[in-house]
Amino acid sequence: MYHQHRTTRVAPVADKQMAIPKKIEPALRELQLTTAQYGSMTQTELRGHWRALIKQFHPDRPENRGRAADAGAINAAYDTLRQNMIEHEQAVLEAAANAPDNIWKHDRAAIAPPWQPDKNARNNVIQVASYRDVNYLKKRIWELSKGSQEIYTINAFGRTNFEGRTRVYGSQDVFDEMAKAMLIWNANGSILELTRAVLVSSQSDHTIYLIYADGKSMGHNPIPLPYNKRAGSPEEDKELQVKLPLILDEIRDLYARRSVA
């Protein structure tokens, strides 16, 4: 199910700076961030900064007893800043799609578009704005990752074996979106439940992560899985293919026990 694509040229999209509206300035002060610091952050970096502050001001710490309001204000400020990031990313996507000369335009010249990690791909045409189109999938994940150049391989696992696979430029911030995209593409928009798991592996560290299992997205807390790197790729690791259904069963049972606890 892995696709090769025809190489084409696209027009570049202007880089958009994150808007810093006045209404979020109190939240920046609460999280002790300057506009420059916040404007250059990813969602992962913002989440790490928030966690460090919460740890420092958590009311369970002896020195913070009676100061629960501080933690509440930090949480509220984090929610505000995270939502602004999401709105900014959506605005960038809409601006790109509506631009008169944008990345959706293709010709047949031998230059790959910036969202295509497979530089020898034979087809980069986007036929439909849906995750059923693998080129739309690649382009959207690249845009949501703010033009990342980190290559990830996304694998779908069915009932007993690996199925669809594609490569994207991405980031950990969009693991949940990668899972959603792969579910739709692997099923071609039909029965998503036939895909039990979605895994991603980074080209830089060769670690494979479970980001979706039996209806549960876990992109914010991905589970690293061991696999035989000498096999070349996760789907070629026969031992992992045998063990993965058992791992998925354990995770499903764990969630079931938690839901009735």
Residues of the chain with pLDDT > 70: what percent?
A: 80
Same domain, 74 and 27: yes
CATH code assigned at 78: 1.10.287
Residue 126 lies in a domain: no
Residue 3 lies in a domain: no
Same domain, 138 and 222: yes
Same domain, 83 and 139: no
For the chain, what is the domain count? 2
Same domain, 238 and 189: yes
Same domain, 216 and 147: yes
Same domain, 139 and 251: yes
Residue 116 lies in a domain: no
Residue with more model confidence, 212 or 55: 212
Q: Which residue has the tokens 């830089």?
A: 204
Mode of pairing for the β-strands spanning 208-213 and 216-217: antiparallel
Residue 7 lies in a domain: no
Residue 166 lies in a domain: yes
Same domain, 90 and 138: no
Last residue of a domain, one of 52, 78, 98: 98
Distance CA 241, CA 248 (A): 11
Same domain, 148 and 249: yes
Same domain, 90 and 139: no
Residues of the chain with pLDDT > 90: what percent?
A: 32
Assess whether pLDDT exceeds 80 at residue 178: yes
DSSP code string of 178-218: HHHHHHHHHHTTS-GGG--EEEEEETTT--EEEEEETTEE-
Task: Provide φ and ψ at 198, rounded to 5°.
Answer: -125, 130
Last residue of a domain, one of 80, 98, 116: 98
Instruction: Look at residues 124, 142, 120 and name the one whose alpha carbon lies nearest to residue 133.
Output: 124
Same domain, 139 and 92: no
Same domain, 84 and 30: yes
Residue 5 lies in a domain: no
pLDDT in tens, 132-156: 999 999 999 999 999 999 999 999 9
Same domain, 168 and 229: yes
Give the range of the structural domain holding residue 224, as residue numbers without chain letter: 134-260
pLDDT in tens, 12-42: 333 445 557 788 888 888 888 888 888 878 8
**Could you tell me what percentage of the chain is helix, strand and coil, using 3-state DSSP and rounding each to the nearest 5?**
45, 15, 40
Instruction: Look at residues 165, 173, 256, 168 and name the one whose alpha carbon lies nearest to residue 216.
Output: 256
pLDDT at 74: 87
pLDDT at 182: 95
